[in-house]
Amino acid sequence: MLIDHQPFQFAGLRSHDTQTIIKMSWAWPKPPRLRRATLLTTVVEERGGYLLKQLQDVFPEQKPLDRTFINTWEDARVIEWVKKTGRKKIVMAALWTEICLAMPAIQAVGEGYEVYIVTDASGGVSIEAHEVAIQRMVQAGAIPITWMAFPAELQRRLAREATVPAYAEVLVNHSGNVGTSFMWEQQLLTAKTKGTVGV
């Protein structure tokens, strides 16, 4: 569940560099299995602005569910969507951490869901606001995770070759030096296969 990655919220973001959050928020839901099970939601879109373009481009077929509720978990359409998935684990990221992430995460935990909060794809109006919100959610039972750890936990083994290409694409395009190193290794492997190493 990706909550309120909109211009109004980005304008007040002070816990992280804006570009970092933009990069992290659309990296982790890219593998196909996550695209099928992701809900996008905005709050008063006509005033807060459209969902981040990079994120909307990952889900071109999905119109974000637009709310008036500050707490996403109070919108019956959200609860209905979650129940239809049949899942008891929910992964959430939001702007702002202290409101748009903390409120639904804490309520969902209270209703028996196992909630994972993607801390580096979320951000608050200050470093303190972000950190205190994470502490509150952890005390309530939410589990913090980072954007890079989440797809790695889904992948589990590199021997699961069917999903490796999508996982590798995320690493190459979003993980900085890790992606650069991965591409370098691929180039060396290709060169060895062609017999051009050391030429």
Q: Active-site residue numbers?
A: 100
Please answer whether residues 67 and 43 qualify as being in contact, where contact means their C-beta atoms are separated by less than 8 angstroms. Answer: yes
Specify whether the CB–CB gap between 158 and 131 falls below 8 A: no
CB neighbourhood size of 19 (10 A): 8
Nearest to 59 by CA among 48, 51, 67: 51
Pairing of strands 114-118, 89-94: parallel
